[in-house]
Each structure stands twice: as C-alpha cells, then as structure tokens.
Amino acid sequence: MRTIKLRIFSWKPKPGNGYELAWRVLRLNYIPFFALFGLASLSAVLFYTPAYFLQQLVAYLEVDRAREHKGWGWVFAIGLFATNAFLFLSKACSCLMLLCLLIRWTQSLVNYGR
C-alpha cells in the first residue's frame, strides 16, 4: 500500500492527528472532489440564467407587440427551457457525484485502519 505523507515546507503533523487522514482522503479522492466542485460551480452560475432569459423574454414581449422579430422570442424561449433543463440535470448529477464521493470516502476510512 502506498504511503501518502503530508508535509508543508518543514512542518509535519504529529502521528495520529486528523490532518494526515484528511490529506490522505483528499489525495485519494481528488478526481471526484474536483468534478463535484466543477459541477457545483457550474450550477451556481446557471442558477441565475433562467431568470435572465425570462427577463429578456418579457422585455421582448413588451417591446415588440407586432412580433416583427420572432427569432428573438424563440431564442429567449429556447434559452429559458435549455437552462432550466440543464440546471435540473446538473443538480441530479452533482447529487450522484456526492454520493459516489461519500462511498469512496467511507471506503478509504475503513481501509485506513488496516
């Protein structure tokens, strides 16, 4: 089994301290952790995009009463649908990623004592 030592410049944690375990868990699970971080960041940005498209759609409906430029209405409506759908799917995916991360974390905690 590999040993993963935590060392920051010349500082080393005392044996049996939680820092060594936290570093080991983070080091072994960095790929799902950063994937989860990326999905959370993306969903945080996308949380406000449906409000933007709805605002633009309402502004279009108020200004263009004769519907001379129907393309912009379709763009805003499709954008509103697409961002809502993507936001819903990314939340479901991030929940699954969190579940996988927790499973791997508990497995690494169980294997740490062996």
Domain of residue 87, residue span: 29-112
Contact 32, 55 (CB under 8 A): no
* pLDDT (tens digit per residue) in 74-107: 999 999 999 888 878 877 777 777 788 788 777 7
50: nearest Cα among 74, 92, 78, 69: 78
pTM of this prediction? 0.51
* pLDDT (tens digit per residue) in 47-65: 889 999 999 999 999 998 8
Count of domains for the chain: 1
Q: Is residue 6 part of a domain?
A: no
Q: Is residue 1 part of a domain?
A: no
Q: Is residue 13 part of a domain?
A: no
Q: Is residue 17 part of a domain?
A: no
Q: Is residue 22 part of a domain?
A: no
Structure tokens at 7: 């060392």
Whether pLDDT at 1 is above 50: no
Q: Is residue 20 part of a domain?
A: no
